[in-house]
Amino acid sequence: MTFAAVDVIRTKRDGGVLSDAAIDWVVDAYTKGVVADEQMSALAMAILLRGMTPAEIARWTAAMIASGERLDLSAVDRPTADKHSTGGVGDKITLPLTPLVAACGVAVPQLSGRGLGHTGGTLDKLESIPGWRARLDNAEFIAQLRDVGAVICAAGDGLAPADRKLYALRDVTGTVEAIPLIASSIMSKKIAEGTGALVLDVKVGSGAFMKSLDDARELARTMVDLGTAHGVRTVALLTDMSTPLGLAVGNAVEVTESVEVLAGGGPADVVELTLALAREMLDAAGRPDADPAAALADGRAMDAWRSMVRAQGGDPDAALPTARETHTVTAAADGFVSAVDAYAIGIAAWRLGAGRARKEDPVSAAAGVVLHRKPGDPVRAGEPLYELRTDDPNRFEAALSAAAEAVSISAEPPVPTALVIDRLA
Ligand code: URA
C-alpha cells in the first residue's frame, strides 16, 4: 500500500493515530530514500509533540526491526542476556558486567555505541586498550559468543538501518527527546540483535537523558512492554544518575576502574550496580541460582574479561594511555561533600577531550576526570576534590568553568540516597 508522506505527517500533526499500513510504509519508504529527510523530520516533530499510542509504538518498532536483519543466536549453546543503559557519566558498568555474566554461564551479546555529548560510549572506552577492535562481522560475533561467551562490539550496518538513519536525523532536528522514538530506537536494535533476555538500566538525574522520575518510568514501561511483546524477557531498573558512577570519568580511566572491579576491588557503587544488573540478567536468562559475587571474588570474571579482550585483538596486560597534563581542584572549606553533579563532571570530561561534539570526531583515550571525593565523604580545606586530565592544557579553562559548581560542601553529611530506585518487569 502506498501513501503520500504529507498525509501521514498531517494525520500525526493533527493528533490522529497512524494506521499499521501507514507506519509500515513510512518507515520502509524512509529507509529506501523515497520519503525525504525533511518529511521524516516533520513527522518526528509531530510525534514528539503529539505522542503515540502503545499500538503505534509497537508497530513502529516492528517496522524498524523489519528494515534490516534479525540475528539468529541459536548456534550459541547457552542462554543469552544483554543489558542496555540509557547513558550516563562514569557509566562503565558494561565492561565488568559482560564478562561477569559470561563467567556465570550466560552468554552476553553486547552491541554498544560511541559517546555523544556529555555521556561516554563503551566502544570509545575499550578502544583505549592497545590492539582492541570494535568491528566484528556476524560470523565473528556469533563465534566469539559461542567460544568466549562475551562480546562487546559495534552494531553491524545490517541491524535496524531505519534507526541508524532516523537517529542521525533526530540528532540534528531537536527530536531526540520523544519517548516513543527513544523506546523504539533502543528496542529495535536490541530485539534485532537476537538476545533472549534484556535488562534495561534506565538512568534518572542530571547526568541522564531523563531528568525526572516520571519520564524515566514511562520510558522504562514502554521499553519493557515492547521487549515482552517481541518474546524477549525484559526487566528495567531505574537507577540514580545525579552523581557520576565510581571515581573515574573518561575512557582509559574507566577501563582501569573496571579492571579493579574485576579484580575484586573498585568503588562500592560500581560494584553494587554491576552485581544488581548481573543478578537480573542471570535471573531473566533462567539462571537465578548463579552467584555473581563469587565469580568476581574468585577471578572467574577476570578470566572471562581477559579472554574477551584477547579475542578482539586487545592486550589485557598492555599499559593504557595516561594524560600528559593534570590539574587538581581542592576544597575551599571543611565539611562533607553533599553533591557531585554528574552533568557538570560529564561536560568537563568532554571538554578535556574524552567525548566528541560530532559523530566523526576522534576522542582522547587519556582525557577525563578522576574524583577524589564522593557524596558523604568528609573533606578539609585544601584537600583534593577532583583531578582533570588531558594531553592539551588549553582545554583546562573550559573544563574548569564547566566543573566550577559541580561539588557542593555542607557542614553536615547528606542523607544517603538509593542507587537502584525502582524495578519494572
Ligand atoms: N539511544 C538510542 O539508541 N536511541 C535513542 O533514541 C536514544 C538513545
pLDDT tens digits for range 182-228: 999 999 999 999 999 999 999 999 999 899 999 999 999 999 999 99
What residue owns the CA closest to ligand 1's atom 1? 186
**Average pLDDT, whole number, for the chain?**
96
pLDDT of residue 1: 84
* Segment 4-15, tens digit of pLDDT: 999 999 999 999
What residue owns the CA closest to ligand 1's atom 5? 182
Rounded CA separation 175/361 (Å)? 22
Of 232, 166, 238, 233, the C-alpha closest to 201 is 238
* Segment 272-286, tens digit of pLDDT: 999 999 999 999 999
Helix (H, G, I), strand (E, B) or coil at 368: strand
* Segment 373-384, tens digit of pLDDT: 999 999 999 999
Rounded CA separation 304/298 (Å)? 12
- Per-residue pLDDT for 116 more than 70? no
Task: List, by residue number, the catalytic residues.
Answer: 84, 163, 170, 185, 189
Confidence band (pLDDT; 50, 70, 90) for 310? very high
Q: Which of 182, 189, 210 to mutate to test the pocket of ligand 1 (most atoms within 8 A of CB)?
A: 182
Contacts by 75-79, CB closer than 8 A, 24 or more apart:
75/142, 75/146, 76/107, 76/142, 76/145, 76/146, 77/146, 78/105, 78/106, 78/107, 78/149, 79/106, 79/107, 79/196, 79/197, 79/285, 79/286, 79/287
For residues 50-57, average pLDDT: 97
C-alpha grid cell for residue 420? 537502584
C-alpha distances in Å from residue 92, one per residue of 82, 119, 269: 15, 11, 11
C-alpha grid cell for residue 219? 520510558
- Per-residue pLDDT for 316 more than 90? yes
Name the CA radius of gyration of the chain, rounded: 22
pLDDT of residue 360: 74
- Per-residue pLDDT for 117 more than 80? no
- Per-residue pLDDT for 358 more than 80? no
Model pTM above 0.85: yes
pLDDT > 90: percent of the chain? 92
Q: How far is the CA of 75 from the centre of ligand 1 (A)?
A: 29
Ligand 1 pocket: which residues have CB below 6 Å?
167, 176, 181-182, 185-186
Domains observed in the chain? 5-51 (1.20.970.10), 81-156+174-311 (3.40.1030.10), 325-410 (3.90.1170.30)
**Helix, strand, coil abundance in the chain, percent, nearest 5:** 45, 15, 40
Q: Report the nearest atom of ligand 1 relative to the CA of 176.
A: 6
Of 152, 173, 156, the C-alpha closest to 164 is 156
Residue type, 403: A
pLDDT of residue 23: 98
For residues 55-77, average pLDDT: 96
- Per-residue pLDDT for 390 more than 80? yes
pLDDT of residue 177: 87
Q: How far is the CA of 186 from the centre of ligand 1 (A)?
A: 5
For residues 314-334, average pLDDT: 98
Q: Which of 48, 176, 188, 190 to mutate to test the pocket of ligand 1 (most atoms within 8 A of CB)?
A: 176
**75-89, 110-124, 232-246, 361-375, range with the lowest pLDDT:** 110-124
pLDDT of residue 132: 98
* Segment 125-158, tens digit of pLDDT: 999 999 999 999 999 999 999 999 999 999 888 9
Of 356, 364, 369, 371, the C-alpha closest to 396 is 369
